[in-house]
């Protein structure tokens, strides 16, 4: 590989979406004669994340699904809703397997180069991008970047809620778990004037992931999450276990329009491109659809600057996050109202952004609508009216 070598495309960041994009480019004959460089700074061999999602279709991820479930449960301190997920399945992919699978595909693609390096700078000049790394600089016609640096953005207008969590995969000696049913959200844990829940994925009768999750506030010491997991396990009567794996993470939940930075030759992808669903933090499944859109734009020679990824669901999410920010410890009520008053499958369809407007109205009237109206008025007054008066 030569310094200053020119590629058709450079993908900065070989994490979830950089690799998914690579896979899609390799799988589509249209791109066979395009040279692609993918630059990733980490070795990417560990199981640093588990990617879960619900789906009623088969995608590339099905080739590496670790486990899938057909039933789910939602809980709060007053009620439990258990339901079949059909036509969906909830699926989980381990990231170590994901990275290995994708890298094998890249290694075999003669038009691809994988570089383990750190991107220091991306310079955009009319129709060419210069990518500076600690192993030299490279040029390309189109650059994609999943490098996310929240310090670059001012989240005043579109608040940022940090979804932070720590999970233990535990192994028990006795059979404890219903291995066919996930616990999607359990709000029966002490809310401490915040929004907190437990998420449980059972892998077998004797093994499960328990993830203690916060929407909001700051990341805490590991021991603070772990104390809560221990308390929860105790409550469930699980006292003898071994911890086989740990997972810690932070997912930004925000409607910040990161995609406004896209140009015809530079596209932000993944979390850095605003692909993380603001109201849930789920990203992986949406990304496949967004990548399909990018490829379609390129093949049809449409300007990439027009890629906005903004639909009516983005506006719903703006309002939803405002409600959570203002909820003052009552945020779990919004989730409870949704699950108590709706068919859970309709909610999964809604969160997957596949509902029609009539279904959405049914969902809106099922929650405390005044809370949303108040947030809407506040947003119009504090943001849109201010902008309007400024101009």
In the complex, least distance from residue 16 CB atom to ligand FAD, rounded to whole angstroms = 3
Q: Given the complex with ligand FAD, which of 50 and 375 has the nearer CB atom?
A: 50
Q: Given the complex with ligand FAD, which of 260 and 368 has the nearer CB atom?
A: 260
How do strand 136-145 and strand 266-268 relate by DSSP bridges?
parallel
Q: In sequence order, what are the residues at sequence separation of 6 or more whose Cβ sits closer than 8 angstroms to the Cβ of residue 143?
A: 9, 10, 11, 12, 122, 124, 129, 131, 265, 266, 267
Query: Are 197 and 255 within 8 A, CB to CB?
Result: no
The contact pattern for ligand FAD, residues 94-113, with x = CB under 6 A and - = no contact, is --------------------
Q: What is the C-alpha separation between 226 and 210, in angstroms, rounded?
A: 10
Q: Given the complex with ligand FAD, which of 66 and 340 has the nearer CB atom?
A: 66
Give CA torsion, residues 378, 380, 386, 391, to 10 deg.
Answer: 180
Could you tell me the two tokens for 365? 């009237």
In the complex, least distance from residue 170 CB atom to ligand FAD, rounded to whole angstroms = 17
Span near ligand FAD by CB under 6 A; candidates 10-18, 58-66, 196-204, 290-298: 10-18
Span near ligand FAD by CB under 6 A; candidates 55-63, 173-181, 279-287, 343-351: 279-287
> Binding ligand FAD by CB under 6 A: which of 5, 28, 41, 360?
41
Q: Given the complex with ligand FAD, which of 40 and 73 has the nearer CB atom?
A: 40
Tell me if 249 contacts ligand FAD by CB under 6 A: yes
Chain position carrying tokens 């379609």? 296
In the complex, least distance from residue 313 CB atom to ligand FAD, rounded to whole angstroms = 16
Tell me if 53 contacts ligand FAD by CB under 6 A: yes
In the complex, least distance from residue 356 CB atom to ligand FAD, rounded to whole angstroms = 24
Q: What is the C-alpha separation between 37 and 116, in angstroms, rounded?
A: 11
The contact pattern for ligand FAD, residues 144-173, with x = CB under 6 A and - = no contact, is --xx--------------------------
The contact pattern for ligand FAD, residues 204-243, with x = CB under 6 A and - = no contact, is ----------------------------------------
The contact pattern for ligand FAD, residues 319-338, with x = CB under 6 A and - = no contact, is --------------------
Query: Are 54 and 29 within 8 A, CB to CB?
Result: no
Tell me if 282 contacts ligand FAD by CB under 6 A: yes
Q: Given the complex with ligand FAD, which of 196 and 333 has the nearer CB atom?
A: 196
Residue 379: count of CB within 10 angstroms of its CB: 15
As to burial, measured by CB atoms within 10 angstroms (0-12 exposed, 13-18 middle, 19+ buried), residue 383 is middle
Task: Return the DSSP state at 28.
Answer: -
Could you tell me the two tokens for 13? 């960041």
Q: Which residue sits closest to ligand FAD, CB atoms considered? A: 15
Q: Given the complex with ligand FAD, which of 16 and 189 has the nearer CB atom?
A: 16
Burial 214-223 (b: 16+ CB within 10 A, else e): bbbeeeeeee
> Binding ligand FAD by CB under 6 A: which of 37, 40, 256, 338?
40
Question: Which long-range contacts (C-beta less than 8 Å, at least 24 apart) are formed by 271-275?
Answer: 271/17, 271/146, 271/148, 272/13, 272/145, 272/146, 272/147, 272/148, 272/149, 273/17, 273/146, 273/309, 274/309, 275/17, 275/309
Chain position carrying tokens 């994009």? 21
> Binding ligand FAD by CB under 6 A: which of 7, 10, 11, 17?
17
Give CA torsion, residues 170, 56, 195, 281, to 10 deg.
Answer: 90
Query: Are 65 and 93 within 8 A, CB to CB?
Result: yes
In the complex, least distance from residue 235 CB atom to ligand FAD, rounded to whole angstroms = 24
> Binding ligand FAD by CB under 6 A: which of 26, 251, 319, 347?
251
Q: Given the complex with ligand FAD, which of 215 and 375 has the nearer CB atom?
A: 215
Could you tell me the two tokens for 298? 């390129």
Distances (CA, A) of 115 to 10, 12, 36, 326: 11, 10, 11, 45
In the complex, least distance from residue 79 CB atom to ligand FAD, rounded to whole angstroms = 25
In the complex, the residues that contact ligand FAD under the rule CB under 6 A are: 12-18, 39-42, 49-53, 118-119, 146-147, 247, 249, 251, 270-272, 281-284
């Amino acid at each position: 590989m030569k310094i200053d070598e020119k590629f058709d495309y450079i993908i900065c960041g070989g994490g979830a979406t950089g690799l998914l994009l690579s896979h899609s480019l390799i799988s589509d004959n249209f791109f066979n004669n395009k040279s692609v460089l993918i630059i990733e700074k980490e070795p990417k061999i560990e199981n640093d994340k588990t990617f879960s999602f619900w789906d009623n279709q088969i995608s590339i991820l099905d080739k590496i699904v670790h486990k899938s479930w057909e039933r789910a449960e939602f809980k709060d301190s007053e009620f439990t809703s258990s339901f079949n997920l059909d036509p969906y399945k909830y699926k989980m992919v381990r990231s170590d397997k994901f990275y290995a699978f994708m890298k094998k595909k890249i290694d075999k693609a003669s038009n691809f180069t994988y570089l383990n390096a750190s991107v220091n700078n991306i310079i955009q000049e009319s129709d060419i991008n210069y990518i500076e790394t600690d192993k030299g600089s490279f040029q390309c016609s189109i650059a994609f970047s999943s490098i996310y640096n929240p310090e670059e953005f001012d989240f005043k207008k579109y608040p940022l809620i940090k979804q932070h969590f720590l999970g233990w995969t535990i192994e028990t000696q006795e059979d404890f778990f219903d291995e066919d049913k996930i616990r999607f959200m359990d709000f029966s844990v002490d809310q401490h004037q915040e929004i907190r829940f437990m998420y449980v994925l059972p892998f077998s009768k004797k093994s499960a992931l328990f993830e203690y999750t916060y929407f909001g506030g700051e990341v805490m010491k590991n021991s603070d999450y772990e104390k809560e997991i221990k308390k929860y396990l105790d409550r469930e009567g699980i006292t003898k276990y071994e911890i086989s794996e740990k997972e810690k993470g932070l997912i930004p939940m925000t409607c910040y329009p990161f995609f406004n930075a896209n140009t015809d030759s530079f596209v932000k992808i993944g979390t850095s491109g605003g692909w993380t669903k603001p109201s849930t933090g789920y990203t992986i499944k949406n990304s496949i659809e967004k990548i399909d859109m990018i490829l379609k734009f390129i093949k049809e020679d449409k300007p990439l600057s027009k890629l906005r990824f903004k639909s009516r669901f983005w506006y719903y999410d703006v309002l939803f996050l405002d409600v959570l920010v203002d909820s003052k410890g009552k945020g779990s009520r919004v989730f409870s109202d949704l699950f108590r008053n709706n068919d859970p499958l309709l909610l999964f369809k809604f969160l997957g952004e596949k509902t029609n407007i009539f279904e959405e109205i049914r969902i809106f009237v099922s929650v405390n609508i005044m809370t949303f109206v108040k947030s809407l008025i506040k947003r119009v007054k504090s943001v849109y009216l201010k902008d309007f008066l400024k101009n």
